[in-house]
Amino acid sequence: MSSCHGGAPRTNLLPNPAIPLPRAAHDHPIIVAIVGPPNSGKSTLFNRLTGLRQKVANFPGVTVEHRMGKAKLKDEQEVFLVDLPGVYSLHPRAEDEQVTHDVLKGERPDFPKPDAVILILDSTNLGRNLVLAAPILSLGMPTLILLNMADDLALRGGKVDVAALSAELNSPVALVSATKGTGIDRVQQFLLATAAKLSTVALPRVELPVLQDVPKCRQWAAKLGVRASYKAPSPPLWTRRLDTVFLHPIAGPVIFAAVVIAVFQSIFSWAQPAMEGLKQAVAASGHWMTSVLPDTPFRSLLIDGVWSGVGAVVVFLPQILLLFLFIGILEDSGYLARAALIADRTMAKFGLQGKSFIPLLSSYACAVPAVMATRVIENKRDRIATIMIAPLMTCSARLPVYTLLIAAFVPNIPILRGVLYLPAATMLSLYVLGFLAALFTARMLKSTILKSQRSSFVLEMPPYRWPTLRSLALRLIDRAKIFLTRAGTVILLVAISIWVLAHLPLQHGKTPPLEHSYAGMVGKGVEPAIKPLGFNWKIGIGLITSLAAREVIVGTLGTIYGIEGDEPSEGLQKAVRKDLSPAGAVALLIFFAFAMQCFSTIAIVKRETGGWKWPIFQFSYMLALAYSGSWIAYRLASHFLT
Amino acid sequence: MPPTVVHTLAELPMGQRCILDHLELPEDIARRLMELGFLPGNEVIPARRAPGGGPRIFRVDGSEVALRHETAARVFIRRDPESDLVVLP
């Protein structure tokens, strides 16, 4: 740590802890906005201050994501924090910057003006980061300036005189490390002061640039840097060394491919024990309930409907969390930006650019955040093209379906001298298939209706960082919540409806055989349309319910076979094998690879593209692709798999 | 080595330091580049190339930014008077 760091600046802003804080603040909640450039550690700070008391939301009317959370202060006081989108300036040009600008100015009717601002900057590149301080301080709000990554700065021999900077800016300034938590007590003090309405505003001593264009602000920042005796740290040697390897002409692409393969292989081998455990727990608890409860229709609903329906989906939680864990590690470590760079040349061939790679990679987890992540693409047509192809990438909701069918039909034999096993290889080829379909679609769109000039690709390469356990854990908890909420709402509802439809109409006061139930009738109704693909009416029921969300088919089949199975312990895999030929299984896999069965994605595409035109086009296109693809697959597979 | 006349960032050899002169790009991209440090008078060094000949990474104002060839070709430079090849780690 540098010796000049110390002496809490502007202590007059701090409330005296001996004086009880006034409670006047309760008429309206205190809101503090966290602002900063991308990669300055905003979210890390936000997570540290709010922990699990946060939720993701969108600003109404626009698609800019923000997080709201409560920070608990020592005195049982609560302050609301809002994590605004990362911006380099407040020039209202992009949607993100417009939102940040409007929120800070109190110009959004749906969002109250924040009471104070925490401006978080990367201390290892203070000259450029301070540029944002000019427009923020011009707002005339109480502002705490945090110089983040203090540990990195010290380690690499950089220095800054915090007291001098604070005096020049007339605002409190603190060196912190959001990942390690050092200096965070200073933030607590600021929040307490804000809650007590003791934070004050004063204009910086270094006169703010009148015309706030980038060159003027940069000059202002440079002047500040000199007055605060800022010594830039030595270059990040480890980042450069790692880049020599990760961006090596040969090793780079090889590592890239190895990372992708390793992720997929481990999803299947590592998640297996946990999934087996969950599966057995679901089955065992089902048995237990069967033995305890009296034999009534209610027991059947509970066990055959709810338990096997929801249970069949919940067992996939470990696998989905593992996938999100890997994506989180890639993102937090900084490797994702390198991957985008490596991908740019290939993406350019398909009319896209490297930045499309980031949303496309997230759509391996889920298309919904991916569609929102397309906001990084400035070119409108590139953005729409990326949105159109994102749902073709293999999202985690397909995993339950793929896993079920692969486990039921693909034998576990080693191939390529034991490097891969056939199930993993099948899974990998489904991922490749989705990816190729996406590229093909992009190429087609970009040379026809979305034709545009080659767009630019401007991407900052962040230094490599160790992902923190904390941030990864928070992500996973977030995901688990979303997944379980879905299992507890959509899938639960479908499971109950299917159970009801499968038990009615009563025949002579008894439940009919599945074939003559309402569900069976619907299945029989669509059978002519899906017969050419090798699917029977039971799969048809599953396909219809999967329009809500892909993984629902697993729950539906769980419910159907739960009702039908004479032997309650009969596994879903075994049951599916009875109803589907191997060729039909291939066709079903292809259908799920291409079809857009997801209400959430349709809704988000509608919102992001501002109308029904694109989501309708997308849905029809993907359905046509799915139908023709699985028809061809069924023909071919029937020929070879007999 | 005889000095060759270099006009844009795209022509600049790896590791050669230069001073940025002006940008001839659409306003929004120019602004983004300026926010990332591509300001007239700043020093720029091409540091790395993506594998397979994709965009190049430039060192500018304390960070590293990747640009495609066609964007770099619209960034005009002047030679640093004391310019020498910088040895990259």
Domain count of chain B?
1
Question: Per residue in A361-375, pLDDT tens?
Answer: 777 777 877 787 787
Cβ of B70 within 8 Å of Cβ of A454? The answer is yes
Shared domain check, A111 and A128: yes
Cβ of B65 within 8 Å of Cβ of A454? The answer is no
Residue A458 covered by a domain: no
Average pLDDT over residues A393-406: 86
Residue A1 covered by a domain: no
DSSP state of A171: S
- Kind of pairing, strands A31-35 and A54-58? unpaired
Cβ of B63 within 8 Å of Cβ of A128? The answer is yes
Shared domain check, A602 and A532: yes
Shared domain check, A266 and A216: no
Residues β-bridged to residue A119: A35, A145
Shared domain check, A230 and A182: yes
Shared domain check, A333 and A215: no
Nearest CB to B66; choose among A89, A240, A461: A461
Residue B2 covered by a domain: no
The answer, yes or no, to whether residue A177 has pLDDT greater than 50, is yes
Helix H or strand E segment including A145: strand A143-148
pLDDT band at A563 (very low <50, low <70, confident <90, very high): low
* The predicted structure's pLDDT at residue A483: 72
Average pLDDT over residues B53-74: 91
Could you report how far apart the first and last alpha carbons of chain B are, in Å?
22
B48 to chain A: which residues are within 8 Å by CB? 243, 247
Question: Hey, what are A536's tokens?
Answer: 């029977």
Question: Rounded to the nearest 10 degrees, what angle do helices A422-447 and A398-409 cross at?
Answer: 140
The answer, yes or no, to whether residue A9 has pLDDT greater than 70, is no
Nearest CB to A125; choose among B50, B52, B62: B62
Interface residue ranges in chain B relative to chain A, Cβ cutoff 8 Å? 25, 28-29, 31-37, 39-40, 48-55, 57, 61-68, 70-71, 89
Residue A461 covered by a domain: no
Shared domain check, A409 and A311: yes
ipTM of the complex: 0.88
The answer, yes or no, to whether residue A626 has pLDDT greater than 70, is yes
Domain count of chain A?
2
B55 to chain A: which residues are within 8 Å by CB? 341, 344-345, 354, 457, 459
Shared domain check, A215 and A259: no
Residue A211 covered by a domain: yes
Closest Cα in chain A, distance from residue B80 (Å):
20
Is the CB of residue A101 less than 8 Å from the CB of residue A109? no
B40 to chain A: which residues are within 8 Å by CB? 215
Average pLDDT, chain B: 83
Average pLDDT over residues A375-380: 73
Question: What length is written for chain B?
Answer: 89
What is the span of the domain harbouring residue B54? Answer: 9-79
Residue A338 covered by a domain: yes
Nearest CB to B65; choose among A93, A252, A460: A460
A127 to chain B: which residues are within 8 Å by CB? 61-62
* The predicted structure's pLDDT at residue A565: 54
B61 to chain A: which residues are within 8 Å by CB? 125, 127-128
Closest Cα in chain B, distance from residue A164 (Å):
22
* The predicted structure's pLDDT at residue A62: 52
* The predicted structure's pLDDT at residue A44: 85
Closest Cα in chain B, distance from residue A99 (Å):
17
Contacts of A257 (CB under 8 A, 6+ apart): none
**What are the Cα distances from residue B46, in Å, to A31, A65, A345, A489, B7?**
44, 34, 18, 53, 14
* The predicted structure's pLDDT at residue A13: 34
B60 to chain A: which residues are within 8 Å by CB? none
What number of other Cβ atoms are within 10 A of residue A477's Cβ?
12
Question: Per residue in B34-44, pLDDT tens?
Answer: 999 999 999 99
The answer, yes or no, to whether residue A305 has pLDDT greater than 80, is no
CATH code, B24:
2.30.30.90
Closest Cα in chain B, distance from residue A339 (Å):
10
The number of C-beta contacts closer than 8 angstroms across A and B is: 109
Closest Cα in chain A, distance from residue B81 (Å):
22
Question: Per residue in A455-493, pLDDT tens?
Answer: 677 888 989 988 888 888 888 887 788 778 767 776 677
pTM of the model as a whole: 0.76
Closest Cα in chain B, distance from residue A220 (Å):
14
Pairwise CA distance, residues A131 & A134, whole Å: 6
Residue A547 covered by a domain: yes
The answer, yes or no, to whether residue A60 has pLDDT greater than 60, is no
Nearest CB to B62; choose among A127, A237, A457: A127
Cβ of B39 within 8 Å of Cβ of A458? The answer is no
Pairwise CA distance, residues A439 & A418, whole Å: 30
Question: Per residue in A316-368, pLDDT tens?
Answer: 778 778 877 887 888 888 898 898 888 888 888 888 877 787 778 777 777 87
What is the span of the domain harbouring residue A99? Answer: 11-234
* The predicted structure's pLDDT at residue A344: 85
Q: Give the lowest-confidence range in A198-202, A350-354, A481-485, A567-571.
A: A567-571
The residue written with tokens 């939301």 in the block is: A57
Pairwise CA distance, residues A548 & A596, whole Å: 10
Contacts of B64 (CB under 8 A, 6+ apart): A460, A461, B47, B48, B57, B58
**In terms of CA atoms, which chain B residue is nearest residue A215?**
B39
* The predicted structure's pLDDT at residue A53: 67
Cβ of A345 within 8 Å of Cβ of B53? The answer is yes
Shared domain check, A92 and A18: yes
Choosing from A184, A217, A234, the residue where a domain stops is: A234
Say how many CA atoms lie within 13 Å of A500 toward its Cβ: 6
Shared domain check, A261 and A227: no
Is the CB of residue A45 less than 8 Å from the CB of residue A84? no
Question: Per residue in A122-136, pLDDT tens?
Answer: 999 998 999 999 999
Helix H or strand E segment including A79: strand A78-83
The residue written with tokens 């000095």 in the block is: B3
For an interface test with B, give the residue of A88, A156, A214 to mutate (most B CBs within 10 A): A214
Nearest CB to A345; choose among B29, B54, B67: B54
Is the CB of residue A81 less than 8 Å from the CB of residue A50? yes
**In terms of CA atoms, which chain B residue is nearest residue A249?**
B51
Q: Give the lowest-confidence range in A51-55, A257-261, A483-487.
A: A51-55
* The predicted structure's pLDDT at residue A50: 85
Residue A34 covered by a domain: yes
